Structure 1
Amino acid sequence: MSICKQFFVSGRVQGVWYRASAQQQAQALNIGGYARNLPDGSVEVLACGAEDKLAELESWLWQGPTSAQVADVQAEEVEYRETDTFETR
């Protein structure tokens, strides 16, 4: 079953290749959506795909790339939208 989740990732997640790394992870898992920086220093990730693949991505979001220091990941299921690609914004 395909679903969409919106994640808000806080900590040291900007300026450390977090969005690009999240994009690589999502593409490897066949997940669509986007990652974008927010003005408060956090990163928003919208991910749509198979529920088990989103669980894998969520685990990765807690780690991030090696230079990131993730403090928290908030997640909520949102309305499903069809998306074929994962973008950075």
Structure 2
Amino acid sequence: MNVSYIVHISGRVQGVYFRASSQQQAIDLSLSGYARNLTDGDVEVMLCGEQANIDKMLLWLAHGPEEAEVTDIKYKQVALQSYSFFSIN
């Protein structure tokens, strides 16, 4: 069963290929959605797909790519969204 989550990641997450790395991880896990920079320096990620794969992605997002320094991650399940792929916004 597909579900959707919105994720808010804080720390040094802009300028470290966080969105591009998130996109690759999401593709590898067959997830759709998006990653976008926020004006406050954080990153927002929408994840849509199988719960087990979202759980794996949430674990990855908690540390991100090598150059990132994640200090906080918040996520919540939201109404099911429909995306055909994972985009960088």
Following the alignment from structure 1 to structure 2, what is the Cα–Cα distance between the partners of residues 11 and 83? 27
Query: Which residue of structure 1 lines up, in the alignment, with residue 8 of structure 2?
Result: 8
The offset of 1:20, in angstroms, is: 0.2
Paired position in structure 2 for 1:34: 34
Show the counterpart of 2:46: 46
Fraction of identical pairs, as percent: 43
Shift of 1:22: 0.2
Cα distance in 2 for partners of 1:82, 1:17 equals 25
Distance in structure 2 (CA, Å) of the matches to 1:2 and 1:37: 25
For 1:22-53, what per-residue CA distance to the aligned partner results, in whole angstroms no more than 9, with x for missing partners?
A: 00000000000000000000000000000000
Per-residue CA deviation, residues 36-73 of structure 1 (Å, 9 max, x unaligned), is 00000000000000000000000000111100000011
What TM-score do the two structures reach when normalised by structure 2? 0.98
TM-score by length of 1: 0.98
RMSD between aligned residues: 0.5
Q: How many residues align?
A: 89
Following TM superposition, by how much is the alpha carbon of 1:84 offset from its aligned partner in structure 2, in angstroms? Answer: 1.8
3-state SS of 1:6 partner: strand
Q: Residue 83 of structure 1: CA displacement?
A: 1.4
Q: Distance in 1 between matches of 2:38 and 2:83?
A: 21
Matched letter for residue 23 of structure 1: Q
